Structure 1
Amino acid sequence: MSGGVDSAVAAARMLDAGHEVVGVHLALSRSAKTLREGARGCCTIEDAGDARRVADRLGIPFYVWDMAGAFQRDVIDDFVAEYEAGRTPNPCLRCNEKIKFAALLDKALALGFDAVATGHYAQVVEGTAGRELHRAVDEGKDQSYVLGVLDADQLARSFFPLGDTTKPQIREEAAARGFAVAKKPDSHDICFIADGNTRGWLTERLGERPGEIVDEVSGEVVGAHQGSYGFTVGQRRGLGLERSSLDGSPRFVTGVDARDNRVFIGTSDLLGVRHVVGQSARWCGPAPSGEVRVGAQLRAHGEEIPATARVEACDGGEGQGGESRLVVDLDEPVRGVAPGQSVVLYDGTRVVGSATIATTAR
């Protein structure tokens, strides 16, 4: 129970369904702030209090579980390391994979509970081969993308009671139940960067590392930066360049070379990606066999693109180990796809699985 409206209604619905429900708020910060800043951030002392008041109204036990250490190690430290290596991670997927449906679920099972229920907008459907993860009915709120890291065993012990309802309906239900959080703003952006300034937050931790901004086509040095970790493929704003000196056309980040601390820029025609290779694949059910037609989504609120996917054995190259890799060929180019992001595969509304993008090609 995050202290928001979604997890409040999720708890109420699980109780209505006849389950024995215990509310748990995760303390993910070693020095939690007292108040939220509007819709930014989460896991504040105020949020814990909101969750407790909902639990009291429902008449269920409520606990705060300290997972700050695991969150620091598996989410925040991973986030910093990925940006430092020139990649663009999605911390929400990592949190679901390592915290909510791993550390939290493991602790719950050890204490004798059967499952974890959350306020995510997704649906679990009983299929012929077991439980399946599907998109929510509210397309605008669908969160199946950030749940694409769950495997079959985790799905078997997960409930998403809100997947068949739209967000306005959830707020109406919360108000009808008398929850004070009915109109509370949704949290967004990265929860541990409350002011939304990712580059500034990373600079505090990694320090300034001056380097060159290079035109990808000409090879000319056209500017300077204070750390390649502050850039991601597809980025247009914050380049610090005078457009007039670059023929007046807008420029975008086309690549980040962390080893040489260089940022490459180019025109929009250089951004389209048609080929993606992913590693560390996770499957929500059986892994696909052979070449399959799928829908591929490459960012949390991105469009689903028709694609062909296949699983291949790795050649043992750098960073690959001996594991397999997922190869995805997109029917149409997608702009701004960066290594470190995740590709999530769909068969209709069903989530097939996901992988972390290692390389891309145009």
Structure 2
Amino acid sequence: MKNVVVGLSGGVDSSTAAAILHDQGYSVVGLTLWLMKGKGQCCSEGMVDAAQLCEQLGIPHHIVDTRESFQENIVDYLVAGYSTGVTPLPCSQCNKAVKFSPMLQYAKETLGIDRIATGHYARTRYDIATGRHQLLRAVDRTKDQSYFLYDLSQDVLARVIFPLGEQAKTETRRVAAAFGLHTADKPESQDLCLVEANGSMRAFLDKYITPQSGDIVDQAGNVLGQHEGVHHYTLGQRKGLGIAHSEPLYVVALDAANNRVIVGDRTATLAPDCTVQRLNWVSIDAPTTPIRAEVQIRYRSSAVPATIIPLESDRVRVVFDEPQSSVTPGQAAVWYDGDVLLGGGIIDR
């Protein structure tokens, strides 16, 4: 019998993934990571729903206390970034450092199982020509989560199963209902787990960063208003500036060193290129010459044509065919060839 450890958050996606594999004849073990205290999935509420699912399916359920790792790799990582005017992307960091690799390690070392699965919407395949395990977008583009998975290692991709990658979200709920899962109608999480647990990202950050008022200035340095903390803002932000002006203003830079938020018109948010560091080449080997690809710089944005130019020190320069708005340091830039995720990294300029 095939054995697999399924990561369970307590939501409908992971629950359905476990039920599908169980129905396919896998010997399934449920594993829930205790990331933090509080409400929402990945927390106390999610653990209860995950435990109920395992009881319903008649499978073992393990809970691993990963709060210390989550604090170090996600909370401290976010606080450090926002304190310096960077807007970090927690989800890809969490998937790599807190979830997938530790899950696989626990599965192997504690349970003697070398396969894991999750309810993410993505696909994998092995490419004989390159000898690499490739990561692909989900069939349902509206739910595709490959952007958040770009930093997974070849070892993880070789051993992970994504049962939902070939189906639409509507199908997931239909399957969950058909299996009689109590999570079938559970509302979908709309925010980051930290936002769910703290009420808002502002409330979360204010627990760790003391708000310090300062100036909102235009690009010439003229003071237009006041802010209550640089960490409350992100590039491209338009709402919540509290400034009356003849034309819409957007955040175009965060000057944490001088405690200033810099604003400008929409054209000032456009960037022709960016540099990207902390690279992970997924479906292809790292190129030594420029390549063409479609690059996605935010989860909800479309991938756009660009040229990726290798630089020294494991970095690349991404040159967009057309300037892009709100290219944000700390966020991920991920490049694709159609559905195939080639690689990605963190925007540093």
| Short-chain TM bin | over 0.9
Unaligned stretches of 5+ in structure 1? 314-322
Query: What is the 5 A alignment of 1:46-85?
Result: 46-85=45-84
- Give, in angstroms, the shift of residue 196 of structure 1: 4.7
Partner AA of 2:133 in structure 1: R
CA contact (8 A) 1:155 1:284 kept: no
How far apart, in 2, do the equivalents of 1:124 and 1:17 lie?
18
C-alpha separation in 2, matches of 1:291 and 1:160: 31
Aligned match for 2:326, one of 326, 336, 346: 336
- Partners of 2:155 and 2:323 lie apart in 1 by 34
Matched, 1:209 2:209: no
Q: Normalising by the residue count of structure 1, what TM-score does the alignment of the two structures yield?
A: 0.90
Structure 1 residue 56, shift from structure 2 partner: 1.6
My pick for the range that moved more, 107-116 or 129-138, is 107-116
2:278 corresponds in structure 1 to 280
Tell me how far apart the structure 2 counterparts of residues 56 and 130 of structure 1 sit (CA, whole Å). 37
Question: Is the Cα–Cα contact under 8 Å of residues 194 and 204 in structure 2 kept in the other structure?
Answer: no
Report the residue type matching 1:265 in the other structure: V
| Residues 1:230 and 2:232 are matched in the alignment | yes
Are the equivalent residues in 1 in contact too, given 2:35–2:43 (CA < 8 A)? Answer: no
Amino acid at match of 2:314: S
What is aligned with 2:94?
95
What is the CA distance between 1:236 and its match in structure 2? Answer: 0.7
Partner residue, 2:202: 199
Separation in 2 of the partners of 1:228 and 1:85? 9
How far apart are 1:122 and its partner, in Å?
A: 0.3
* CA distance in structure 2 between the aligned counterparts of 1:196 and 1:334, rounded to whole angstroms: 31
* Candidates 149, 152, 177, aligned match of 1:150: 152
On the 8 A contact 1:151/1:283 being kept in 2, the answer is no
Secondary structure of 1:21's counterpart equals strand
Which residue of structure 1 lines up, in the alignment, with residue 27 of structure 2?
20
Amino acid at match of 2:163: P
- Among 239, 262, 265, the alignment partner of 1:264 is 262
Partner of 2:113: 113
Alpha-carbon separation, structure 2, partners of 1:330 and 1:151: 27
How many percent identity over aligned positions? 40
Q: 1:117 is matched by which residue type in structure 2?
A: A
2: CA distance, partners of 1:27 / 1:53: 16
Alignment-derived partner of residue 295 in structure 2: 296
Aligned residue identity for 2:33: L
Q: Deviations over 1:201-238 (max 9, x none)?
A: 2123211212211101x321111112111111000111
SS of corresponding position for 2:193 = coil
- Paired residues, number: 337
Matched to 1:145, the amino acid is Y
User: What CA distance in whole angstroms lies between the structure 1 residues aligned with 2:74 and 2:192?
Assistant: 11
Question: RMSD value over aligned CA atoms?
Answer: 1.4
